[in-house]
Amino acid sequence: MRAVATLLGGAAGIAILAACSSGQSGIQPPSQAANVQGTSSLQFRVGTANYQGTSTYINTVVTFRQPNGLSATLFNTPTITGPAGFVVPAAAPNSASTASGAGTDAGTNHISATPPTQPGTPAVATTFAQVGGAFSYGFAPANSNTSGTSFYPGLPGGRAFGNALGATVTDVYTQPVYRSSGGRRPFVLGPPAVPDFHNGTFPPGFLGYDSGFTSFAVTPVAGSYALHLEVPSSTIGQLAAVFDTTANLTNAVPLGTETAPVVAEPGGAGHAVTFTVAPAPAGATQQVLYIVGVSGSGAATMYSFNAGAAGGVFTLPATAFAAGDLVAAYVVGADWDIVGGAAPNNASPTPALPAQTDITISPIAAITYA
């Protein structure tokens, strides 16, 4: 898990951190920590993302963990540098906290974050800004701030990220990053793919667990991609730890196109909803069914099924939805086990990942629950 672990009794690793500029997401107040450099494990992979059979984008997977599987730090600053020919587009804003979209990354071959700055000093606009970091399973807008807020998907009053469903989704990147809101969606793992967290012990509004992958609306280029990760210290301009690793994209040909699920209410009004997932397309070995219930107020509830390569028919009871809810579903095929690497299923410091992490994203299918 990422920073939310601190609210659930986990001891997420913290480096010695300092405050950042006014108006930007800050970081944890100064706090002595364990040896982040010596005890943390960083993994990074790249691949392709087949988006609805219409576009091929770059996909990334990162894990940055303590020996117990929790996020290595509560604040870090990542930079992904692609090979020659990899070009970041100018982009619409991802949220109020990244007001300029790609910012200074536009037109370059890097996707970056902004390091801490002195209070009152304007921060450079970048893709991740000062909110985005690498956590236990994926990149997330979860860098801690000066008040010690623990950011998590669904944080009430958190930073909203636009999406095609019109749902209120906070503090999780909707994807593919760099697309306009109408082309992005949340990929948050909910029950029954992960243990049910609707038991009163989780933070208010918690939507689910990170899926590990972050796709960007950038044309993939074969070659080496470098991830540089900085962990700041209590002194602005000095670092507590630095990590570097690379990942290779050897094949820019995407996985086959994923078919949209079929959503139905076969028993009629007020009954269970079924979701039919087709077998995985060429190259995909696993599938995850993502389901989002959206109320009239925009409140979102997330569910997921680990649909495997075979697909099948999956069912949620009538109690999962209310009359008038939008029930939306989409499928992601992948060449690794997305759910198997996620919290709380996997507490390994280095969960298994293939050499290249490819995904394929289906169109959205939806009904209005009767």
Q: How confident is the model at residue 121 (pLDDT cuts 50, 70, 90)?
A: confident
Predicted local distance difference test score (pLDDT) of residue 40 = 97
Alpha helices in the chain (DSSP H): 36-39
pTM of the model: 0.91
44-60 pLDDT tens trace: 999 999 999 999 999 99
pLDDT value at 18 more than 50: no
**Using CA atoms, how far apart are residues 48 and 283, in angstroms rounded to an integer?**
12
Q: Three-state SS for 231?
A: strand
Number of helical (H) and strand (E) elements in the chain, helices listed first: 1, 19
Predicted local distance difference test score (pLDDT) of residue 21 = 33
281-291 pLDDT tens trace: 999 999 999 99
* 79 within 8 A of 126, measured Cβ to Cβ: no
Nearest Cα residue to 245 out of 40, 73, 27, 56:
40
**Using CA atoms, how far apart are residues 107 and 125, in angstroms rounded to an integer?**
14
